[in-house]
Amino acid sequence: MRRGKGDDPAIAAAVAIAVLCVASAVLLANGAAEREELTTQLSNGFTAAHAAGAAVPFEPVLYAPSSAFALGFLRVGAASLDLAVVHLPSSFPVWRATPARLGDWSSPATLTFDDGSLVLTGHDDGVLWQAVDTVGDVVVLLDSSNLVVRRHEKTVPEWESFRHPSDTLVLGQNFTRSSPPLVSANRRFSLRLGKTYMALHMEFYGGRTTPTYWRHTALEAQPEDGTEPPVYGRLDARGFFGLYLEGGGGDQRVDVLSFDTFVQNLTGAFRRMTLDDDGNLRAYYWASGSKAWTSDYRAISERCELPTPCGAYGLCVPGKAECQCLDDNSTSAPAAADAPSCHAEETADLCAGSGQQLGFDVVRRKRVSVAYKEELPFETNRTAEECEAACAGNCSCWGAVHSGASGYCYLIDFPVETLVYEADDRKVGYFKVRKPTPASSTGMSPGVAAATAALSLVLVGLAMAGACIGYQIRKRRKRRRAGMEQELVGGMYKDLNSMDSSNNSFRA
Ligand SMILES: *[C@@H]1O[C@H](CO)[C@@H](O)[C@H](O)[C@H]1NC(C)=O
Ligand SMILES: *[C@@H]1O[C@H](CO)[C@@H](O)[C@H](O)[C@H]1NC(C)=O
Ligand SMILES: *[C@@H]1O[C@H](CO)[C@@H](O)[C@H](O)[C@H]1NC(C)=O
Ligand SMILES: *[C@@H]1O[C@H](CO)[C@@H](O)[C@H](O)[C@H]1NC(C)=O
Ligand SMILES: *[C@@H]1O[C@H](CO)[C@@H](O)[C@H](O)[C@H]1NC(C)=O
């Protein structure tokens, strides 16, 4: 249960490391790019193969004309494979195919464009991903990073990655109500559009329960006007995220979320907005010559206002860089990304059919509140006892927070995540904790197992990163010493070099 989620920080660490690794590899790749004609268009009959266990974490197969972006095989985490559009200067994947089942980096895979359809196939010949319902003549990667499948004679694309975002929006990309939600890389959070608002959600039970933890309503939209079209959002080069009314040709802007750089007239920067793995929505920019992304906007500014800064059943104390557990007064270590949470993450509710409820223990705690309580269902004029009772008997309810002063009773109808400390004795919480099943009481506890798994993954990731970076530094030193490109032929450089060339083994 906890295990999958527990790996997330480790996976995040591994991804970060992989990105570092790509970053250094890309420097070398760019060297190769200068000498080779880059593939900027795929025609019917195209095939590219991923060699099992390739040493580089990103294998480009198609470039944007500016060479700022490339489409290729991306290693995700320690050993998974995905198709991605990568911003080459930063090695950041601005788009990922994110199939339900990721490929396996240590096995072969192919990307084909045949019969007008773009398909990623795994080693067992199983289709991992495809641009569905699409028939086109060519595939191109635009300078905006939009991956497009289109007919020769048509300007409107048959398929485009801009309409299938993963965790990131880029400049000029329209995010509409018909777009799938933006989903964080760890798949725990999503950004969705309502008719007049945008909102951040937690994803529980495989997406069947998606409570809101942040909402922004378009200032000038009129929710009560039934004829008003819905809003859509777009990142603007001037440094804001605009909300506009759909249709009607002209862009009728109804709100802006302005970034810190809005007043600076920062021209020529590439911008992205990403739903990060901590559940925060942030904007970043990359100016020419940048060494790192700079963030100039975040939807949630306080750590304790995030949905899960201290994990399941954690307690976040504002102004303190540490977490507590709801059922333990002791202070735990600072909330590191890989710190185990107080209890296992839940993947199912407590309902056992025909109104029965599975066994649970009860935790009560004073001085607690929920950061996003205005998004929770509530009852008014309740005593603390009534509030508890409303939750206790309902198998889909995991907790209730009573605010003594106002008589408000907030019900948590999704697994308990982080609560916030509030110095008010009348704010009391009631929480259910699933009773451990006898089977899981043998061996390591889920928390310990998760922590162990996370730690070992991090260590493996660090070792890999060290090896990779070390290797590339040695390569580069060698290159500088020799001052001759011939010196570089072999190893990683050669791999990249051969991938970049348009007439190589990647073509069928
Ligand atoms: C986004 O929407 C605007 C207004 O409808 C349109 O002019 C523009 O072409 C769209 N951009 C893309 C990339 O589809
Ligand atoms: C912003 O930059 C553009 C181009 O560099 C320039 O023409 C314009 O005057 C600048 N605007 C302000 C307000 O500085
Ligand atoms: C936590 O502290 C409160 C009062 O500060 C006390 O009533 C409660 O018993 C303590 N709980 C535990 C588990 O130590
Ligand atoms: C609140 O509840 C009490 C008793 O349950 C009742 O007498 C009172 O009328 C209620 N007040 C409101 C505003 O509903
Ligand atoms: C249980 O809680 C859910 C979610 O809050 C609610 O929709 C449902 O009506 C409740 N069921 C009962 C029997 O009160």
Residue burial 407-444, b: 16+ Cβ < 10 Å; e: rest:
ebbbbbbbbbbbbbbbeeeebbbbbbbbeeeeeeeeee
Closest CA to ligand 5's atom 4: 413
- Whole-model pTM: value is 0.79
Q: Which CATH number fits domain 165-301: 2.30.110.10, 2.90.10.10, 3.30.70.20, 3.30.1180.20?
A: 2.90.10.10
Which one-letter amino acid corresponds to residue 491?
G
Mean pLDDT of the chain: 82
CA-CA-CA-CA torsion sign (466, 469, 473, 474): positive
The C-alpha atoms of residue 401 and residue 373 are separated, in whole angstroms, by 9
- Residue 86 in this model has a pLDDT that exceeds 50: yes
The C-alpha atoms of residue 196 and residue 502 are separated, in whole angstroms, by 47
pLDDT of residue 470: 44
pLDDT of residue 249: 65
Please report, rounded to a whole number, the percentage of residues in the chain having pLDDT higher than 90.
62
pLDDT of residue 493: 29
Q: Which ligand is nearest to the CA of 315?
A: 3
Ligand 2 test: best mutation among 265, 266, 267, 288, most atoms within 8 Å of CB?
265
Domain 35-164: give its CATH code: 2.90.10.10
- In sequence order, the 6+-apart residues with CB closer than 8 A to the CB of 439 are none
The more confident residue out of 471 and 224 is: 224
pLDDT of residue 36: 66
Q: Are the CB atoms for 271 and 235 separated by under 8 Å?
A: yes
Ligand 5 test: best mutation among 349, 350, 413, most atoms within 8 Å of CB?
413
The per-residue pLDDT for range 100-113, each reduced to its tens digit, is 999 999 999 999 99
Q: Are the CB atoms for 364 and 429 separated by under 8 Å?
A: yes
Q: Which ligand is nearest to the CA of 253?
A: 1
Domain parsing of the chain, residue ranges: 35-164, 165-301, 311-434, 458-507
pLDDT of residue 484: 30
Closest CA to ligand 3's atom 5: 329
Backbone dihedral region of 311: left (phi > 0), alpha (psi from -120 to 50 degrees) or beta? left
The C-alpha atoms of residue 327 and residue 140 are separated, in whole angstroms, by 55
Give alpha helix (H) positions in 308-383: none
Q: Are the CB atoms for 363 and 394 separated by under 8 Å?
A: no
The residue-averaged pLDDT of 311-334 equals 82
pLDDT class of 65 with cuts at 50, 70, 90: very high
Q: Are the CB atoms for 218 and 243 separated by under 8 Å?
A: yes
Query: Ligand 1 within 6 A of 247 CB?
Result: no
Closest CA to ligand 3's atom 6: 329
The residue-averaged pLDDT of 105-129 equals 93
pLDDT of residue 266: 85
The residue-averaged pLDDT of 490-497 equals 31
Ligand 2 centre to CA of 266 (Å) is: 9
- In sequence order, the 6+-apart residues with CB closer than 8 A to the CB of 84 are 58, 71, 72, 73, 74, 93, 95, 96, 97
Give residue 10's Cα distance to chain centre.
14
* Token pair belonging to 293: 């992304």
350 closest CA partner among 274, 427, 419, 433: 433
- Residue 340 in this model has a pLDDT that exceeds 50: yes
Ligand 5 centre to CA of 43 (Å) is: 55
pLDDT of residue 439: 58
Residue for token pair 């109500």? 177
12 φ, ψ (degrees, to nearest 5): -60, -45
The residue-averaged pLDDT of 116-121 equals 94
Position in ligand 3 atom list of the atom nearest CA 330: 14
The per-residue pLDDT for range 256-293, each reduced to its tens digit, is 999 999 988 888 899 999 999 999 999 999 998 889 99
The C-alpha atoms of residue 221 and residue 303 are separated, in whole angstroms, by 30
Which has the minimum average pLDDT: 90-94, 300-304, 447-451, 474-478?
A: 474-478
Ligand 3 centre to CA of 366 (Å) is: 9
Stated as kind and residue range, the H or E segment containing 468 is helix 446-482
Stated as kind and residue range, the H or E segment containing 166 is none
Q: Which ligand is nearest to the CA of 385?
A: 4
Backbone dihedral region of 93: left (phi > 0), alpha (psi from -120 to 50 degrees) or beta? beta
Position in ligand 3 atom list of the atom nearest CA 327: 13
**Residues framing ligand 2 (Cβ under 6 A):** 265, 267
Backbone dihedral region of 349: left (phi > 0), alpha (psi from -120 to 50 degrees) or beta? beta
Query: Ligand 3 within 6 A of 329 CB?
Result: yes
Domains 35-164 and 165-301 share a fold: yes
The C-alpha atoms of residue 86 and residue 89 are separated, in whole angstroms, by 9
Please write down the HEC assignment for all residues of 297-316.
Answer: EECCCCHHHCCCCCCCCEEE
**Residues framing ligand 5 (Cβ under 6 A):** 377, 394, 396-397, 411, 413
The per-residue pLDDT for range 405-429, each reduced to its tens digit, is 889 999 999 999 999 999 999 999 9
* Token pair belonging to 85: 């559009």
- Based on its alpha-carbon atoms, the radius of gyration of the chain, rounded to whole angstroms, reads 25
The C-alpha atoms of residue 467 and residue 18 are separated, in whole angstroms, by 11
Regarding beta strands 182-183 and 189-193, do their DSSP bridges make them parallel or antiparallel, or are they unpaired?
antiparallel
Q: Indicate the SS3 state at residue 495.
A: helix
pLDDT of residue 338: 52
Which has the minimum average pLDDT: 70-79, 232-241, 263-272?
A: 263-272
CA-CA-CA-CA torsion sign (312, 317, 319, 320): negative
Which has the minimum average pLDDT: 180-194, 239-253, 302-316, 398-412?
A: 239-253
* Token pair belonging to 309: 């800064």
DSSP class of residue 224?
T
The residue-averaged pLDDT of 305-327 equals 92
471 closest CA partner among 446, 493, 444: 493
pLDDT of residue 504: 30
pLDDT class of 318 with cuts at 50, 70, 90: very high
Which has the minimum average pLDDT: 89-93, 145-149, 238-242, 249-253?
A: 249-253
Task: Classify residue 215 by burial, with Cβ atoms within 10 Å: 0-12, 13-18, 19+.
Answer: middle
Regarding beta strands 399-403 and 427-434, do their DSSP bridges make them parallel or antiparallel, or are they unpaired?
antiparallel
pLDDT of residue 489: 28
Which one-letter amino acid corresponds to residue 359?
G
Q: Which ligand is nearest to the CA of 239?
A: 2
Number of CB atoms found within 10 A of residue 223's CB: 12
